[in-house]
Amino acid sequence: MTRAVVFDMDGVLISSEEVWDVVREDLARERGGRWGPAAHHDMMGMSTPEWTGYMRDTVGLAMSTGEIEAEVVRHLIARYRRDLPLIPGAREAVRTLAGRVPLGLASSSTRALIDAVLDLAGLREAFTVTVSSEEVARGKPSPDVYLRALEGLGVAPADAAAVEDSGAGIRAASAAGMRVVAIPNALYPPAADALALADVVLASIAELNHERIWA
């Protein structure tokens, strides 16, 4: 029996991967960086220190990692305030599950972005604990962010499920020892070997409330 559920945020609750892409690419071009076709894929699931380091060292921005983070987060929050890309059915799925089991959130986004998204979506109170990968040693696909969330929930990995969309996230939750519910991102689908680690694969977040998933 599932005793807690931990959600990823980007690609599960909000359709934000393409927004991240635009904001980081725009910054790279404005500051003379080298934005390559692999950049987005390389950074998916990275913690804040990891992706800002990538932007500095691989993309070639002549900025500190702190400056890169501040610029990207500022632009993302401004876009979310204008038009939050909440995935249809996400708010309803979260609120329904919150009435059954404690919920956590384990995201590669920064703390400022997590708080902004949950406030704008009206979902902050639905989550018992939220963790950013900037608050742990390693980002996804390492399990650190999920293990920290489970500590906060007081639930063993074997008694919890993760809801993920990306290959890095699926690998992270699986490495943590959790049951994995995958909702593959249509724009950035996980590799077949990562998707094979999922216990359940759904077409949309609207299917999350089926009882069979949590038995």
- What residues are annotated to the active site? 8, 10
- For tokens 């979506």, the residue is 121
**The two structure tokens encoding residue 81:** 């305030």
Task: Tell me if 12 sits within 8 A of 105, measured CB to CB.
Answer: no
Q: What are the two backbone dihedrals, phi and then psi, of residue 181, each rounded to the nearest 5 degrees?
A: -105, 115
Query: Between vectors from CA 138 to CA 60 and to CA 203, what angle results, nearest 5°?
Result: 95
CA dist list (Å): 104 to 64, 74, 120, 181: 31, 25, 18, 14
Q: Residue type at 86?
A: L
